[in-house]
Amino acid sequence: MTRHLFLRFCLAALWSLLLAPVRAWSGMEPRLMKRRKVPLPITPVPEFYVEDYSGPPKNLSLDRWRLRIEGDVSHPALFTYSDLLARPSRKQFATLNCIGNPVGGHAIGNAEWEGISLGKLIETADPGFFANTLVLKGADGYHESIPLRKAFHPGALLALKMNGEPLSADHGFPLRLLIPGLYGIKQMKWVETLEIRRGSYEGYWQKQGWSREAGVKIVSRIDHPENDATLARGTVTVRGIAFAGDRGIQYVQVSTDEERTWTLARLDPPLSPWSWVFWSSTHRFSQPGRYTLAVRAADNYSGVQRDDLRDPFPSGTSGIHRIGINVV
């Protein structure tokens, strides 16, 4: 390992020690489900990460459940589950990434979601001219907010289905929110109330110090080979994923020589403007030894993945994923 990399790792360790009490207080612990070594383009529901603060509501009855639109609107509204199923729907692929996901972590997944346009539903209520905030409340007591303008993002969806089936209890049945470009902290599950108002609002996690904006940072990960893998000399195809919310991925670069040089990776076409990208890069290892592999990415707006060794708290991880392999 070069002196430069050694100093980076030392700084990362020091930063982790300093923030350990903050992490314990903040309580963001995504549950990782069963997973495979190399992910599929569409994450099966049993493998999709889960994050909530209290688990699914225990006494949620579909017969009594309603979606309310209220607040600074001309036409407050109340919808049953059947009402929502009867509205025009659409399908879209979208990736969710947990704000608590560490560098190289697996609290990220991609699914095909089906539901109704959030913006079009809100338009039926005719929000007030000066309204600028959408407050969301769930059947589990969770509450969150987003700028009202984000409700009109072309990918903003109130999802009823996930991978062709009704949402599971863990993933928000009967209704959940999807807003491309934001971390999962904003993607409300078990939605019951859409309250439109003027002024700011602090959600559950914001009151505990997490980011109010929660915009997704660029992330990339090496999935193959695994860390500490032992490989025979010869050609190896390095594979992984990259994601930048609704900004897309412009390029991915891979280094196999402790970041002295970088090689452009091949990108597979994404399933949608809001889904992760699979990448691959072929390298030849002619000499035995220990190698450090690293990956970094850039989005379509010239944003470059940062390597400032940031802990997930309070606004999501920054940092480059690195692994070590042994060539024999």
Tokens 């970041």 label which residue? 259
pLDDT of residue 25: 37
Cβ partners under 8 Å of residue 79, min gap 6 = 66, 67, 68, 69
Q: Report the predicted TM-score, pTM, of the whole model to 2 decimal places.
A: 0.90
**Quick one: pLDDT at residue 308?**
82
The SS3 call for residue 320 is coil
Return the structure tokens found at 180.
Answer: 């491309």
**CA torsion sign, 69 to 70 to 74 to 79?**
positive
Number of Cβ within 10 Å of residue 226's Cβ equals 11
Those residues with Cβ within 8 angstroms of residue 3's Cβ, 6 or more apart along the chain or in another chain: none
Q: Which residues of the chain have pLDDT under 50?
A: 9-25
Joined together, the tokens standing for residue 279 give 């990448």
Domains and CATH numbers, the chain: 45-208 (3.90.420.10), 216-327 (2.60.40.650)
Alpha carbon 55 to chain centroid, angstroms: 19
Residue 33's pLDDT is what? 67
AA identity, residue 323: I
Determine phi and psi for 176, rounding to 5 degrees: -135, 165
pLDDT tens digits, residue range 240-295? 999 999 999 999 999 999 999 999 999 999 999 999 999 999 999 999 999 999 99
pLDDT value at residue 36: 83
What pLDDT is stored for residue 229 in this prediction? 97
Residues 6+ apart with CB under 8 A from 60: 139, 173, 174, 190
